[in-house]
Structure 1
Amino acid sequence: MQKISRQIFDPRRCIHTSNTVFWQKFENERHFEPGEDVMKRVWHGLTYDFRRWKRRFEEARRDAFKRRNPIAHMKHGTIDNEVFPYRAEIVVIGGGLTGSSTAYWLKERFRDEDFKVVVVENNDVFTKSSTMLSTGGITQQFSNPEFVDMSLFTTEFLRHAGEHLRILDSQQPDINFFPTGYLRIAKTEEEVEDMRKSWKIQIERGAKVQLLSKDELSEKYPFMNTDDVMLASLGIENEGTIDTWQLLSAIREKNITLGVQYVKGEVEGFEFERNRASSEIHAFGDDETADENKLRAQRITGVLVRPQMNDASARPIRAHLIVNAAGPWAGQIAEKAGIGKGKGMLAVPVPVKPRKRDIFVVFAPDVPADLPFIIDPSGVFCRQSDCGNTFLVGRTPSKEEDEKTNHDNLEVNYDDFYEKIWPVLVDRVPAFQSAKIKSAWSGYQDINTFDDAPVIGEHPIYTNLHMMCGFGEKGVMHSIAAGRSYAERLFDGAYINVNLRKFDMRRIVKMDPIRESCRL
């Protein structure tokens, strides 16, 4: 009896521990700074891969799906067990559609687990970003051939987005593509001439766009007022609208499976390293020249990121390449690197600023369901929201109006709808007279105040800092193609499919703006 009781109440049989095994350790439990304990740092670097492979080998042995061949799984892992990354090959600033698309094409092209891509996103401004509050329109009606090619590629990608962004055996993501043609209207002889020139470029690039005369437009849309129309262009294929939030969610989930690490934090600055060769050449001179030479001799080696948690301080993430895809706040991020605050080349800022845009959700029961995406020369636009009588309307202001607007105030300006938008809609489609506002929102667009064209490419001095911003209203239709072009430039050394070289900062330095006659 005593023997049985000892077996029942033996404490060794009742206490279960869950201590970490020696091979289960975080990869960043020890980080050596440059110059700190050189011998241990060298030994840590030489044995790093062996320790990681050993950990994954032991994990595979204990996995029911990997235990039959643990060696095949020991070098394959999507994400290392890291709390906060301290190094990466590429750091992308901005987790919106532009930044996530860039990270997607980088990892899609080169899926090595040691090629680490980190995306830093700020949740405090995510709800104000251009991706979340975009109308999601896609068109090929531009006067620049590069814009047409980028839109055509985006359309082809979205047509097969379910296959591209599918994760293992899960269901294909649905981006809710709603096909509807863009209708542009020309009222003057100058607008007609620009529309014909743009139409020739669009047809040559493979876009499906049709020119309509006044009578043809009236016959196709009898409910539309065409008295002041001289010519119109209508997209008959590869145009429409998508749900940008669904697309962004699908790309983010795909990126995580590819090994992209998302970090919730705010970029507070950059880390620099002196280029000794340049600093020795410019060692002499007055104080102002020495300060300027110091900025020129520096090289960006990392990003200082403050995690979004209580009482957290900024932590460095070292990287070889940094992509500024911060959207409306890309200009402010560039200023933290000294761009726009120095002299000479560093005096030229990245002219991307947050600009307020109002979108109104309107219910118009009398408007026919086959209304196209209308783009009026006054800047007023109207598109159908899925199937039904609900429409998204807004207005793109002129540069003069944009400069006078208080962009810090994100309250919806309903006077703008009643005074400048609704009269134009009623004049074009009289059935909008019975329209009622259901809701509205205000958000930021990353507008390039220099020429309204995106800034894509490396900085002339900080060559490892690349810009991917300034898309404005064209962000949804061009950011995916721009991300692919960046991956081509990185891995192939040049733009292969669409040459985006003219969109870098050299045109801003030369004061040579890009002209685009087709206004969104």
Structure 2
Amino acid sequence: MLPAKFLPLLRGTISSRNIHKSALNLEKYENPFLRTLKVLRDDLRAIRRPNVDENPNLMNIFPSYVDVLVIGGGVMGSSVAYWLKEKSGLNGVKLAVLEKDPTYANSTSILSMGGLRQQFSLPENIQMSLYGAEFIRTLKDRFGREGDVSFTPSSCLTLASEIGASQLVDTARLQKELGALNVILSANQLKERFPWMNVNDIEAGCLGLEMEGWFDSWALFCLLKKGAMNLGAQYVTGELNDFVFTNRHDIEVEGVQPGNYEGIDEVIVKLPDGQMKSIHFSICVLACGTDTGDVAKLARIGKGEGLLSIPLPIEKRKRYVYNFSCQDEGPGLNTPLTMDYTGVYFRRDGLGGTYVGGLSPLPEEELKTDDLDANNKYFDEKFFSILAHRVPAFKGVKVRNKWSGLYDYNYYDENGIVGPHPYYHNMYIAAGFSGHGIQQAPAVGRAIAELILDGDFQTISLNRLGFDRLIVDKPIREICIV
């Protein structure tokens, strides 16, 4: 086959000869060399990567067997699919993504504020978010002219009271060591730079100076999904109904009598028309966001003995986001994504004096998840008083819009679980990011692809985020959670 580097030359050679052969009656006298090039050109076009826009029917055949089944087609599952296909090549891995809701109406992917920051306390989270910034910077290199997520560069500001100031300084130092650029500001320096801010109870703030801001999270998801499909990933609309368990005499697991191990290599899928079909797989990846904990139970995780007695600690948690305008002169264009030590966060939204923000409830105040309507009660009773205290100009704000969504909340330590399951030799997990998954999705997808294709992490070591920390009961807590 002609090497890919010669393809542009091939196209140029043929297109430059714009000859109407029937008029010149030269068809039968076509140069043999040009005729050979034409055949090669047609062959190359026939085997090129499938384009889902040009060939929508390529993805309509139900896959009865795949090498890798990704359960969950949101931003995390799509990132896993994209990276597996990107690393393995067009025909390297046969891959399907199972998604129950193709509209993504309640997906975190479309409800996220799309914040990008490096202000975390754990090295893994800092490194993943740094790579998220690099991935966004190079989107056009990967996806061409469509590679745009409306990134708004801006600073991120983390505020600390006297109690948390020393910890803020320590985390800022760690962020710098790993490649982030930030500066610690005193209360007086904060007031000088942001005169609209009340700093009476603030001791210090950490201000990011580059690679931070916000972006259109839905656009990033769409790029990853379309990129995965163009590389050959197949998206299947259906709901996982159950796993099929098979006795495996060739596998031994600690705590299981030899010959009694039951593995998984098949799922039963309920299609939109009610049909039940099965998909066999060699490897599966649980990346189904808020549903991951429930899907894990179908695989007996948390319901069995030994290693299967430990549940996957991921559950749904309801969160509100409010869009509001300021009737007085509010914070200007230099307003950073501000994270108050109380848990309140806000940023400007566009150029017209509007802002978005929210507040995660305390553990004892968690909201019911069966009703996703976002009303003003939580804004009035919880959010507003803290917001108006930090920014006095916000005392006259008016709520313009509001929405609520669900976090895939890891109630064990509020960090993502990334890596293999210790019982199932062919199951990997990428879920539980508790609100900061959208910016880390590119790094997590790449990490899972490395585990599957290379056998270990190659770029960022995420071993501490594995399931094993649940077994030994050693949480790694992220203190910079909003």
Indicate the TM-score class for this superposition, using the shorter chain for normalisation. 0.7 to 0.9
2:309 is aligned to 347
State the TM-score, normalizing by the size of structure 1: 0.80
Q: For 2:137 and 2:251, how far apart are their aligned partners in 1?
A: 50
1:490 is aligned to 452
Q: For 1:457 and 1:353, how far apart are their aligned partners in 2?
A: 18
Return 5+ residue gaps in structure 1 as ranges: 1-64, 283-288
Q: For 2:453 and 2:40, how far apart are their aligned partners in 1?
A: 36
Structure 2 residue identity aligned to 1:436: K
1:241 is aligned to 214
User: Residues 222 and 326 from structure 1, CA distance in 2 versus in 1: closer, same or farther, beyond 3 angstroms?
Assistant: same
Q: For 2:276 and 2:404, how far apart are their aligned partners in 1?
A: 31
The number of aligned residues is 438
1:131 is aligned to 109
Q: CA deviation at 1:388?
A: 2.6
Contact 2:250 2:259 in 1 (8 A): no
Alignment of 1:385-464 (within 5 A): 385-402=349-366, 405-464=367-426
Residue 156 of structure 1 aligns to a residue whose secondary structure is: helix
2:17 is aligned to none
Aligned counterpart for 2:139 among listed residues 161, 164, 168: 161
Q: CA deviation at 1:378?
A: 1.5
Residue 146 of structure 2 aligns to a residue whose secondary structure is: coil
User: Residues 343 and 66 from structure 1, CA distance in 2 versus in 1: closer, same or farther, beyond 3 angstroms?
Assistant: farther
Aligned counterpart for 1:373 among listed residues 325, 329, 337: 337
1:393-449 alpha-carbon deviations (Å, 9 max, x no partner) = 1101222222xx322221214221112111111111111122111111111110001
Contact 1:165 1:251 in 2 (8 A): no
1:305-343 alpha-carbon deviations (Å, 9 max, x no partner) = 1122x2x32211111110000001100010111111112
Structure 2 residue identity aligned to 1:226: V
Q: For 2:80 and 2:142, how far apart are their aligned partners in 1?
A: 15
Alignment of 1:117-516 (within 5 A): 117-123=95-101, 126-166=104-144, 171-189=145-163, 191-277=164-250, 297-308=261-272, 310=273, 312-365=274-327, 366-369=329-332, 370-402=334-366, 405-516=367-478
User: Over aligned residues, Cα RMSD in angstroms?
Assistant: 2.2
1:8 is aligned to none
Q: For 1:300 and 1:118, how far apart are their aligned partners in 2?
A: 17
User: Residues 296 and 484 from structure 1, CA distance in 2 versus in 1: closer, same or farther, beyond 3 angstroms?
Assistant: farther
Structure 1 residue identity aligned to 2:299: A
Contact 2:49 2:230 in 1 (8 A): no
2:32 is aligned to none
Residue 322 of structure 2 aligns to a residue whose secondary structure is: strand
Return 5+ residue gaps in structure 2 as ranges: 1-36, 53-57
Q: CA deviation at 1:519?
A: 2.5
Q: CA deviation at 1:372?
A: 1.2
User: Residues 381 and 301 from structure 1, CA distance in 2 versus in 1: closer, same or farther, beyond 3 angstroms?
Assistant: same
1:51 is aligned to none
1:10 is aligned to none
Alignment of 1:74-153 (within 5 A): 75-76=47-48, 78=50, 83-113=61-91, 115-123=93-101, 126-153=104-131
Residue 157 of structure 2 aligns to a residue whose secondary structure is: strand
User: Residues 66 and 398 from structure 1, CA distance in 2 versus in 1: closer, same or farther, beyond 3 angstroms?
Assistant: farther
Contact 1:471 1:479 in 2 (8 A): no
Q: For 1:263 and 1:327, how far apart are their aligned partners in 2?
A: 17
**Sequence identity (%):** 33
Q: For 2:140 and 2:251, how far apart are their aligned partners in 1?
A: 50
Q: For 2:235 and 2:59, how far apart are their aligned partners in 1?
A: 13
Q: Which segment drifts farther, 409-418 or 496-505?
A: 409-418
User: Residues 66 and 486 from structure 1, CA distance in 2 versus in 1: closer, same or farther, beyond 3 angstroms?
Assistant: farther
Residue 154 of structure 1 aligns to a residue whose secondary structure is: helix
Q: Which segment drifts farther, 207-216 or 252-261?
A: 252-261
Q: For 2:391 and 2:441, how far apart are their aligned partners in 1?
A: 33
Q: CA deviation at 1:382?
A: 0.6
Q: Which segment drifts farther, 201-210 or 70-79?
A: 70-79
1:169-197 alpha-carbon deviations (Å, 9 max, x no partner) = xx3332010112111111123x1121111
Task: Please identify the structure whose Cα radius of gyration is greater.
Answer: 1
1:373-395 alpha-carbon deviations (Å, 9 max, x no partner) = 11111111111223331211110
Q: For 1:484 and 1:144, how far apart are their aligned partners in 2?
A: 19
Contact 2:249 2:260 in 1 (8 A): no
Residue 276 of structure 1 aligns to a residue whose secondary structure is: coil
Q: For 1:82 and 1:180, how far apart are their aligned partners in 2?
A: 42
User: Residues 183 and 293 from structure 1, CA distance in 2 versus in 1: closer, same or farther, beyond 3 angstroms?
Assistant: same
Q: For 2:204 and 2:260, how far apart are their aligned partners in 1?
A: 52
Residue 279 of structure 2 aligns to a residue whose secondary structure is: strand
User: Residues 296 and 426 from structure 1, CA distance in 2 versus in 1: closer, same or farther, beyond 3 angstroms?
Assistant: farther
Q: CA deviation at 1:496?
A: 1.5
Q: For 1:450 and 1:241, how far apart are their aligned partners in 2?
A: 28
Contact 1:77 1:113 in 2 (8 A): no
Q: For 1:228 and 1:162, how far apart are their aligned partners in 2?
A: 44
Q: For 1:454 and 1:278, how far apart are their aligned partners in 2?
A: 28
Residue 428 of structure 2 aligns to a residue whose secondary structure is: strand
Q: For 1:146 and 1:114, how far apart are their aligned partners in 2?
A: 29
Q: For 2:60 and 2:355, how far apart are their aligned partners in 1?
A: 46
Residue 110 of structure 2 aligns to a residue whose secondary structure is: coil
Contact 1:178 1:386 in 2 (8 A): no
Q: For 2:465 and 2:378, how far apart are their aligned partners in 1?
A: 33
Residue 152 of structure 1 aligns to a residue whose secondary structure is: helix
